[in-house]
């Protein structure tokens, strides 16, 4: 699956709820996971491959492999945030510190339509927040100040024109 890059309108759309839980959905989740791993990502949202539906996959780095979250929503969160570096497979080569909650509680459906409520902390909360943002048309650079965001857009466009990534060494924060 081809990853859509910053500037593609699908990344700014509000994704639709998933309503059908069939083999097609399972196949789609597995294709998303494969695309995520092929690109050294730790998370990938359906809109990032051009599908504006509420489906994300993440690898929470706990040895259990990838997991799918359908129609996920954050139902509670810590009042406090903390800063850490993030990247995004749709904005390759750009890494910046952004604030995220220390913990979040997520309500979501699994691939069979079963309802779950689960708490996530720190890096896991960060990755999931990042992916859930994608379902609302929000990108991690939106948390930066306007001046910084402009600078990044400029840097990103320049990199794309040269047809490559200025910063080839990826870090594990790509989502």
Q: Which residue number, 11 or 111, has a Cβ lying nearer to Zn ion?
A: 11
Distance of closest approach, residue 42 Cβ to Zn ion, in angstroms: 10
* Contact yes or no for 130/175 (Cβ under 8 A): yes
- 3-state secondary structure string across 30-88: HHHHHHHHHCCCCEEEHHHHCCCECEEEEECCCCCCEEEEEEEEEEEECCCEEEEEEEC
* Contact yes or no for 13/47 (Cβ under 8 A): yes
- Give me the phi and psi of 83, to 5 degrees please: -100, 140
Residue 53 neighbours by CB under 8 Å, 6+ apart: 15, 16, 17, 18, 46, 47
Kindly determine how many residues on this chain lie close enough to bind Zn ion according to the rule CB under 5 A: 2
Q: Does 49 bind Zn ion (CB under 5 A)?
A: no
Distance of closest approach, residue 68 Cβ to Zn ion, in angstroms: 16
Q: Which residue number, 7 or 114, has a Cβ lying nearer to Zn ion?
A: 7
Active-site residues, by number, are 131
Q: Which residue number, 117 or 174, has a Cβ lying nearer to Zn ion?
A: 174
Q: Which residue number, 125 or 175, has a Cβ lying nearer to Zn ion?
A: 175
Stretch that binds Zn ion, among 9-17, 56-64, 85-93, 162-170 (CB under 5 A): 85-93
Q: Does 88 bind Zn ion (CB under 5 A)?
A: yes
Distance of closest approach, residue 174 Cβ to Zn ion, in angstroms: 8
Binding site for Zn ion (CB under 5 A): 88, 175
């Amino acid at each position: 699956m081809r990853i859509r890059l910053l500037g593609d309108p699908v990344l700014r759309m509000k994704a639709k709820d998933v309503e059908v839980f069939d083999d097609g959905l399972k196949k789609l989740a597995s294709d998303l996971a494969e695309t995520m791993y092929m690109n050294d990502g730790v998370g990938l949202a359906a809109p990032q491959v051009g599908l504006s539906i509420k489906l994300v996959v993440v690898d929470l780095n706990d040895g259990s492999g990838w997991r799918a979250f359908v129609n996920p929503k954050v139902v509670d969160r810590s009042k406090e945030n903390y800063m850490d570096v993030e990247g995004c497979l749709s904005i390759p080569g750009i890494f910046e510190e952004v604030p995220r909650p220390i913990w979040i509680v997520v309500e979501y459906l699994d691939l069979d339509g079963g309802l779950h409520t689960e708490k996530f902390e720190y890096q896991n909360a960060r990755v999931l927040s990042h992916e859930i943002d994608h379902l609302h048309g929000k990108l991690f650079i939106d948390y930066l100040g306007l001046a910084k965001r402009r600078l990044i857009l400029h840097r990103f466009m320049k990199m794309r024109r040269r047809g490559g990534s200025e910063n080839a060494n990826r870090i594990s924060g790509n989502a």
